Amino acid sequence: MKKAMSSFDLMAVAQELQVMIGGRFDKAFQTKDELSIRVGSKEIGKKDIFSKAGKWLFLRDPRKGKGQPGTFAMVLRKHLSNARFTKVEQHDFDRVLVLDFEKKERFQLIFELFSRGNAVLVKEGKIVNPLRRESWSSREIKIGEDYKFPPSHQNPQSLSQSEFESIIKESEKDLVRTLALDFNLGGQYSEELCLRSGIDKKSRAGELSSELIGKIYGELQNIFQDVLTKKSPNVVIEDEQVFDAAPISLRQHESLESRAFESVSEALEFFVSSLEVDVEEVEEEDETARFERRIKQQVEAMDKSLEKEKLYREIADYLHANPSHFEKLLEELKSGSTEDANVKSINHEKSIARMALPDGKEFELNYRNTVYDNANHFYEKAKKEKSKRDRLKVEIAKSQQAMEKVAKQRERREKLPKMEPTKHFWFDTYRWFVSSEGHLVIAGRDARSNDRIVKRHLKDGDRYAHADIKGAPSVVIKEGSKATDVTLREACEFALSFSKAWSSRVGGGSAYWVKPEQVSKHPESGEFLPRGAFVVRGKRNHFRGLELQVAVGEIEYEGSRKVMCGPISAVEPQSKRFAVLRPGETKKEEIAKELSRVFQVPVDEMSRILPPGGIEIVQKRI
């Protein structure tokens, strides 16, 4: 069974996406490893470019976003809002798709559909943000790095016949592996080339004649031409299960049942939706809609199958009812001509005559066979359609059972108590905690809020803290002049834990605090300060050997219940229930879900207070 897209699939989808060029970026949605980019076009309205990391990418009708947009989706919304979609291209026949967007600046959204997969937002060659950080010996995918495409493979589209022949002649592998590995064609299309060329796939590639290599090259060009200009998108079914989806009809699938689609994207969407999924992990509303679409398609397929069966039986009965007439007609056709008015056309090369029934419906008659052979041929086709409908009935029953299961899950979930958010305070705009001595400590979430926190909230009598690492938030200790080293240390721990040190999983670090008058937005002459950065002059009061650990607990603030994330020494004394966290492998979103159930708050509220990056829960007192 197909597990991911091929380079040929991506080539076909890239061409289908051309219809969206000139449209505008509308929204982005992210759920786990799935990403949808919504683009609005004047010609065809809004469409979603859907991708599942490392596996699938296709165009589909818009779907309702699931919950919060997701971190990477929010980055895309921030940078690409209303940007014009200007270009789409497949990079070097690799499983890499590049979408160009333009505002005042040019952005590229690059989908990498191999390995674990990735999506990377790039501006003027620099990585703005990736879906996930990756590192290889040849390149690194992280914020601020120059984006480098994966090491290039051979692009078979750009090869002349002589270049193609030269590579094959130099190979010491068999033909199918040479085509798959040396030409980046993959196993399926390498076998297809061998089939179309009539050459044993196990033949030694280097021993093939120029004539045979020329035949292979010609068939490869035919496949490229078919994918680009003569698509026949289809889903292949084997043993009553979807088996493959392809942009063209493949020789290797000739003996299997297939279903045609209008576009490659539609074929891929149907194929992906038919794969086994764990309904527990999918939002019920969208899952129900998916099953409804599937059942509708299956019912439509049954109706078409019934019409075909009736037609085939009608043809067979007509032949059986008029044997003398058709025996005479077959002899005439064998001799080369006939005056029968019901014969619409004759293909002597295939020995086929196209006939009309009394009601005008047309069918094909093989005049090299007998009347009864022709009749039995149509009876057999009718039986196959009946068997097909029997299989579809079973599949519809399975789909209905799965949809009922989803409905019951939704019903159970609706009976659960709703998680109400805690009371909102002004400092919820920022990161925050209340120190063990009762001081409110606030910190920026990004460059803009770092600017705002200092300009608006750093007052005389407060204190400013920052970690000794690039990419740390500005931290303000309200009335910090009255605080002891206990609160000042907690603020420094907070500054370090909510910096890039957490996602980098370093063992620990240091941070410092200073007075407000030491913090300035005015750099030295000739220097430049980016948004969110400040100059600190004078003595810095350091705390060294700080650990990367925080706690989440339930506190009371001004008579209201709040859930707070901060240093352990600040959370533990104020909380009857708490959990201790440190950098780990589990995704932040998964931990947020778990803790939201523990503290009975919405997932998005919990997610907003957690550190940025993977998390491990090391202690619970619940």
Q: Which of 89-98, 261-270, 293-302 has the highest mean pLDDT?
A: 89-98
Task: Please report which confidence band the pLDDT of residue 417 belongs to, taking 50, 70 and 90 as the band edges.
Answer: low
- Using pLDDT thresholds of 50, 70 and 90, give the confidence band for residue 68: low
- Distant-in-sequence, close-in-space partners of 282: CB < 8 Å, separation ≥ 6: none
Name the one residue in this structure whose structure tokens are 């929204």. 27
pLDDT above 70 covers a percentage of the chain that reads: 96
Residues 6 or more apart in contact with residue 72 via CB below 8 angstroms: 28, 30, 35, 119, 129, 130, 131
Tell me what the mean pLDDT of segment 497-501 comes to. 93
pLDDT of residue 66: 56
Query: Mean pLDDT across the stretch 288-301?
Result: 85
Beta-carbon-side half-sphere exposure of residue 139 (alpha carbons within 13 Å): 14
pLDDT value for 283? 43
Pick from 452, 412, 474: nearest CA to 280 = 412
Alpha-carbon distance of 366 to 334, in angstroms, equals 10
Going by C-beta distance under 8 Å and a sequence separation of 6 or more, which residues neighbour residue 292?
403
What is the rounded CA–CA span in Å between residue 158 and residue 327?
A: 55
What's residue 410's pLDDT?
Answer: 75
Q: Cα separations (Å) of 383 from 98, 304, 380, 423, 604?
A: 48, 14, 5, 67, 56
Residue 95 to residue 548: CA distance in whole angstroms: 39
The stretch 91-115 carries a mean pLDDT of 95
CA angle 297, 303, 307 (to 5 degrees): 145
Phi and psi at residue 117, in whole multiples of 5°?
A: 80, 160
Arch. (CATH architecture) of 156-229:
Orthogonal Bundle (1.10)
Q: Which residues contact 386 (CB under 8 A, 6 or more apart)?
A: 309
Residue 279 pLDDT level (bands cut at 50, 70, 90): very low
63-72, 211-220, 470-479, 554-563: least confidently modelled range? 63-72
The whole model's pTM is what?
0.48
If we measure between CA atoms, which residue out of 151, 121, 127 comes closest to residue 139? 151
d(CA 446, CA 436): 26
Query: Which of 80-89, 148-157, 250-259, 445-454 has the largest mean confidence?
Result: 80-89
**CA distance readout (Å), 460 to 227, 413, 467, 479:** 69, 50, 21, 8
Cα distance between residue 293 and residue 524, in whole Å: 64
As a whole number, mean pLDDT of residues 116-136 equals: 93
d(CA 418, CA 322): 73
Cα–Cα distance for residue pair 371/329, rounded to 1 Å: 10
108 in Cβ contact with 101 (< 8 Å): yes
Q: CA 502, 504, 510: angle at the middle one, nearest 5?
A: 60
pLDDT digit string (tens) for 162-197?
A: 999 999 999 999 999 999 999 999 999 999 999 999
Least confident of 34-48, 274-288, 422-436: 274-288
523-579 confidence digits (pLDDT tens): 877 777 777 789 999 999 999 999 999 999 999 999 999 999 999 999 999 999 999
Name the helix (H) or strand (E) containing 122: strand 118-123
289, pLDDT greater than 80: no
CATH topology classification for 7-141: ibrinogen binding protein from staphylococcus aureus fold (2.30.310)
Alpha-carbon separation of residue 293 from 37, 61, 106, 306, 514 (angstroms): 21, 12, 38, 20, 61
**DSSP-assigned letters across all residues of 12-69:** HHHHHGGGGTT-EEEEEEEETTEEEEEEEETTTEEEEEEEETTTEEEEE------SS-
More confident residue, 256 or 111: 111
Residue 278: its pLDDT value, please?
35
Cα–Cα distance measured from residue 298 to residue 483, given in angstroms and rounded to the nearest whole number: 70
Q: Looking at the predicted structure, is the pLDDT value of residue 335 above 90?
A: no
Q: Which residues of 456-494 are buried (b: 16+ CB within 10 A; e: fewer)?
A: ebbeeebbbbbbbbeebbbbbbbebeebeeebbbbbbbb
Pick the closest to residue 252 from 231, 223, 274 (CA basis): 223
Measured in residues, the chain has a length of: 622
Q: What is the mean pLDDT of the chain?
A: 90
| List of residues 6+ apart from 123 with CB closer than 8 A | 79, 105, 106, 107, 108
Strand partners, 546: 509
